[in-house]
Amino acid sequence: MRRATNQDAYAVVLAGDMDAWRKSGHLFVVADGMGAHAAGELASKMAVSGITHRYHKYQNLSAPEALHRSIQETNAEVHRRGQANLDFHNMGTTTSALVLLPQGALIAHVGDSRVYRLRGKRLEQLTFDHSLVWEIRASGQFEGNDDLACTVPKNIITRSLGPNPTVQTDFEGPFPLELGDTFLLCSDGLTGLVEDDEIGPILASLPPKESAQALTDLANLRGGHDNITVVVVRIAGPAMTTRVAGTVPLTIRRDKNPRHATPVLWVTASVCFLAALALAVLEHLRSSLVVVAAGLIALLAAIIQHWLTMPRGIALGETRRFGKGPYVTVECPENAAFTDKLAGLVAQLQSAIEGEKWSVDVQGFHAQCDAAKKAAANRQYKSALQTYVHAISYMMSELREQSRRRGNGTPPL
């Protein structure tokens, strides 16, 4: 609502078929750039394009290793660009990437853009904010002193992609996927104005596209002082769940040059068994038993050699995974408190419409407001929430259309 340029960027890269999904998964990235002039805008665009391109280039690596390498190489590229031009000096960007794989949800993260998961009525923040306030809180310095925490600026980040030649990337997961799981990637333009206990009910009550629009509209209605990027992803079919698809564990640090077992022992064991069979037919039983014993020894040696030469690696799963997430967990059912809050926002919007005499179509808006009030009065809180949110999005759309007609990019809020 207030910025002339958009320093956020995002990408949604879906696998073309099931084979591609099993190999590389679906990839989602959100970046929020920082820097004067057009530096932040350039940094976020470079991050998104660089990570998505490089991730799919490393098909021979596991997903975590491919994602790590793509982020490191992209960071180096952004850093070089920033060093080469004074206008772009020290430019940087947050980066949050989500990969949905048969083995679960894998996250790579730098900065304070966030990744959430909604399961049922529980919203979990799966990423740690690399911000000054979160770092100090994690060190225990805010314990028992909430007033001190309020004095620390929330917008100071401690880690970003681009300012330095290398960057430390946090990895989280893999988190098992269940039917109905909903993931949210967003920049701090959303989380600075919409609380977790508001995000959860909206995600739970609306389809992904509608919830993304509703969250953006709610943040804009409250001032929209920063760019807002929202990506919502929902597991809609059983074939995408870890229980059905995740039969092969996600493995990292496999041997790059595994040794190969020699076939001599297998051949020796086979020859021994055939010779023993021939001796038994000729009724040389004692000799047959000796040859069988030799064959068993050769077979055992072949099995041991095969086991020793198998590719090694670390298998990830429920008991072994990256990170310590979730870092915040909020129970967020639809209830009277949130619908009352939405009713207050709608009332303010309604008053502004009448006071400013905006030339917008208010008939549909009033009808939705009345329907939401009736649903809330009957304690149908989910229906009330949906209708209030639809009313807000309806009016925000009307305002955007009015601004478009006027040739002004900012609605008159």
259 occurs within a structural domain: no
pLDDT at position 277 is 85
Last residue of a domain, one of 310, 344, 376: 310
Question: Cα(377)–Cα(366) distance, rounded to whole angstroms?
Answer: 17
pLDDT interval class at 261 (50, 70, 90): low
Report, as an integer, the average pLDDT of 347-352.
86
**Residue 129 located in a structural domain:** yes
Please tell me whether residues 212 and 69 are part of one structural domain.
yes
The CA distance from 161 to 37, in Å, is 18
In this structure, the answer to whether residues 226 and 282 fall within a common structural domain is no
Asked whether residue 1 is assigned to any structural domain, the reply reads no
Indicate if 61 and 113 belong to the same structural domain: yes
Same domain, 47 and 183: yes
Structure tokens at 34: 């920082």
Residue 387 belongs to what domain range?
Answer: 334-413
Place of tokens 């037919």: 281
- Average confidence score pLDDT of the chain: 89
Highest mean pLDDT among 8-17, 29-38, 148-157, 335-344: 8-17
Q: Read off the pLDDT of each residue in 139-166 and give the average, rounded to a whole number.
A: 81
Average pLDDT over residues 17-45: 94
pTM: 0.85
Q: What is the pLDDT of residue 413?
A: 46
In a domain, residue 40? The reply is yes
**For the ranges 13-27, 70-84, 90-104, 245-259, which has the lowest average pLDDT?**
245-259
CB 30 within 8 A of CB 227: no
Confidence of residue 273 (pLDDT cuts 50, 70, 90): confident
29 and 40 both lie in a single domain: yes
Q: How confident is the model at residue 412, as a pLDDT?
A: 45
Q: Find the Cα–Cα–Cα–Cα dihedral 294, 297, 303, 304, rounded to 10°.
A: -150
Instruction: Return the minimum-mean-pLDDT range out of 187-191, 286-290, 368-372.
Output: 286-290
Q: What is the pLDDT of residue 252?
A: 87
**Within a domain: 3:** no
How large is the average pLDDT for residues 37-66? Answer: 95
Q: Quick check: helix, strand or coil at residue 59?
A: coil
Q: What is the pLDDT of residues 177-220, one digit of tens each?
A: 999 999 999 999 999 999 999 999 999 999 999 999 999 999 99
* Residue 189 to residue 226: CA distance in whole angstroms: 5
Residue 303 shares a structural domain with residue 210: no
Instruction: Kindly state whether residue 315 falls inside one of the protein's structural domains.
Output: no
- Residue 277 makes CB contacts below 8 A (sequence gap 6+) with 288
Same domain, 34 and 82: yes
Residue 258: inside a domain? no
* Domain closes at, from 299, 333, 367: 333
| Interior angle at CA 211, CA 382 and CA 25, nearest 5 | 125
Q: Is residue 20 part of a domain?
A: yes
**Of 158-172, 212-226, 233-247, 307-321, which gets the smallest average pLDDT?**
307-321
Residue with the bigger pLDDT between 142 and 109: it is: 109
Q: According to the model, what pLDDT value does residue 409 have?
A: 53
**Do 394 and 268 sit in the same domain of this protein?**
no
What is the count of structural domains for the chain? 3
CA distance 311 to 261: 11
Q: Are residues 193 and 217 in the same domain?
A: yes
Cα distance between residue 210 and residue 197, in whole Å: 18
Same domain, 277 and 363: no
Task: Name the residue with higher pLDDT: 297 or 197.
Answer: 197
Per-residue confidence (pLDDT) for residue 69, from 0 to 100: 97
Verify that 156 and 282 share a domain, yes or no: no
What pLDDT shows up at residue 353? 80
Spatial strand order of the sheet with 182-186 comes to: 230-234, 182-186, 114-119, 122-125, 328-331
Whether the predicted pLDDT of 107 surpasses 80: yes
- 100: domain CATH number is 3.60.40.10
- Helix extents (H) in 309-361: 336-356
pLDDT digits over 120-141, tens only? 999 999 999 999 999 988 888 7
Question: Is pLDDT above 80 for 143?
Answer: no
pLDDT of residue 132: 92
Q: How does pLDDT run across 89-101, given as a tens digit for each residue?
A: 889 999 999 999 9
Q: Using 50, 70 and 90 to split pLDDT, how confident is the model at 38?
A: confident
Whether residues 35 and 93 fall in one domain = yes
Q: What is the mean pLDDT of residues 101-112?
A: 97
| Exposure of 325 in the CB half-sphere (CA atoms within 13 A) | 27
